[in-house]
Amino acid sequence: MTTSTRLLAGLMFGTALTIAGAAQAQVKEVEMVHWWTSGGEAAALNVLKDDLQKKGYSWKDNPIAGGGGAPAMTVLRARLTSGNIPTAVQMLGFDIQEWAEFGVLANLNAVAEKEGWDKVVPQALQRFSKYNGQWVAAPVNVHSTNWVWLNKAQLDKLGGKAPANWDELVALLEKAKGAGIIPIAHGGQLWQDATLFDSVILTTGGGDFYKKAMIDLDPAALSSPTMKTVFERMAVLRSYVDNNFSGRDWNLASAMVIKGEALMQIMGDWAKGEFVNAGKKPDQDFVCIRFPGTQGQVTFNSDQFALFKVGASREEAQAVLASATMNPAFQSAFNVVKGSAPARTDVSDAAFDACGKKAIADLKEANEKGTLYGSMAHGHANKASVKAAMYDVITSHFNRQITTDQAVAQFQKAVAAAK
């Protein structure tokens, strides 16, 4: 049996079981597979748990650590293969579409139509939440990856001016190094290296180049002189991380900036969840800026709850979860804590701090101007196999296992083989 036939057999087995039990009482429990294991992420998840508890549903937690979600997706595949299907799964972009293609995701159209999701969820998200016109996932937020988080006191010591372009960024990093502060707090993990890459490609080539290379996978763009500059710049960033960066979790890197051990972290706005969870305030304790040279453009990713076909006894729980997720008050409360923007356009920014307000405004602007691009690092530019191929080359190069010329030569070939 191939993996996919085993998988389908497992899913069919699960479905048959639940159909036989259709007359049974509804299971008043939501089991979710997710990778929200940091302090800030757990605090955001508590908003959802409390909300469901009030609605009479208990929470069965299934956390699988690992930013970007690759380990969670591996566990999910194993569970589905054995017919052990969770009520809901945190999922990103193209992964949702791949599962939908398999025909194993539930149909949420009834609740989506009743609540008018089509009118309030941005098209850029619907492109991932819907498959063949059918809602298969409920979007809980919009994150973006082209951010920098700076310790305010350390920035002030270095002159107080946040960098507005690549050269200013390098000048500031150099100053930090000279002052004995770790310039960049980073964790050497595939997805974190790739998160840096999202920003470097956007600032180096601009939005059109980002789209051509990362989304359209244009071979000429992937092997272009611009791509060479991108890898050269990745090597520059590498020279400003500390010696212990290898394998460090992203939230520990955030903590280095929170404590003032490091000047900045280049990371998606889930990092803000860590600052907020530590009681820190924007413009007072930390500063948030778009990655220098990328203001006006956004590389986004949206966490969505993908709901699998679990059978009748858990369909009510799924509908309650989907509806709770899309509730405007919940979207505000959850995303204030998570660091992200709401996944609907009609949620007020009143409860959000300055960085949250900026996230919402930047997103709106990028959406209107056509400068909103799916994040490669977080599964919104291309399918998982292509993402993994890019990750490999980016990380080998970041770790100095291959030269810049080798990286450029390998990049396009690796993508072509994975397409």
Residues that bind ligand BGC (CB under 6 A): 35, 41, 67-69, 92, 143, 250, 270, 301, 303, 378
Residue 151, strand partner residues = 286
Residue carrying structure tokens 């009479």 = 56
Residue 300, strand partner residues = 144, 374
Residue 416 Cβ vs ligand BGC, minimum distance, rounded to whole Å: 26
Residue 299, strand partner residues = 373
Residue 44 Cβ vs ligand BGC, minimum distance, rounded to whole Å: 8
- Encoded tokens for 343: 């996944």
Q: Where are the beta strands (DSSP E) in 71-193?
A: 88-92, 130-131, 134-135, 137-139, 143-144, 147-151, 182-184
Q: Which is nearer to ligand BGC, 59 or 175 (CB)?
A: 59
Element containing residue 63 per DSSP (H, E): strand 58-63
Residue 68 Cβ vs ligand BGC, minimum distance, rounded to whole Å: 5
Residue 401 Cβ vs ligand BGC, minimum distance, rounded to whole Å: 25
Single-letter residue type at 404? T
Beta carbons within 10 angstroms of residue 237's beta carbon = 21
Cα dihedral: 354, 381, 384, 359 (round 10) = 10
Q: Which is nearer to ligand BGC, 301 or 318 (CB)?
A: 301
How are beta strands 58-63 and 88-92 bridged, if at all? unpaired
Q: Which is nearer to ligand BGC, 94 or 209 (CB)?
A: 94
Residue 251 Cβ vs ligand BGC, minimum distance, rounded to whole Å: 8
Residue 144 Cβ vs ligand BGC, minimum distance, rounded to whole Å: 10
Q: Which is nearer to ligand BGC, 273 or 311 (CB)?
A: 273
Q: In Å, how far from its chain's centre is CA 297? A: 16
Residue 11 Cβ vs ligand BGC, minimum distance, rounded to whole Å: 25
Residue 223 Cβ vs ligand BGC, minimum distance, rounded to whole Å: 28
How far apart are alpha carbons 310 and 106 in whole angstroms?
8
Residue 35 Cβ vs ligand BGC, minimum distance, rounded to whole Å: 5
Q: Which is nearer to ligand BGC, 94 or 270 (CB)?
A: 270
Q: Which is nearer to ligand BGC, 10 or 67 (CB)?
A: 67
How far apart are alpha carbons 93 and 76 in whole angstroms?
16
How are beta strands 143-144 and 262-266 bridged, if at all? unpaired
Q: In Å, how far from its chain's centre is CA 251? A: 14
How far apart are alpha carbons 333 and 151 in whole angstroms?
25
Q: Where are the beta strands (DSSP E) in 122-163?
A: 130-131, 134-135, 137-139, 143-144, 147-151
Query: For the residues of 266-301, what is the DSSP string, one character each?
Result: E--THHHHHHHHTT--BTTTEEEEESTT-TT-EEEE
Q: Which is nearer to ligand BGC, 301 or 412 (CB)?
A: 301
Q: Which is nearer to ligand BGC, 88 or 162 (CB)?
A: 88
Residue 71 Cβ vs ligand BGC, minimum distance, rounded to whole Å: 10
Q: Which is nearer to ligand BGC, 35 or 57 (CB)?
A: 35
Q: Where are the beta strands (DSSP E) in 101-232?
A: 130-131, 134-135, 137-139, 143-144, 147-151, 182-184
Are residues 54 and 324 in contact, defined by beta-carbon separation less than 8 angstroms?
no
Residue carrying structure tokens 């304790």 = 285
Q: Which is nearer to ligand BGC, 231 or 305 (CB)?
A: 305
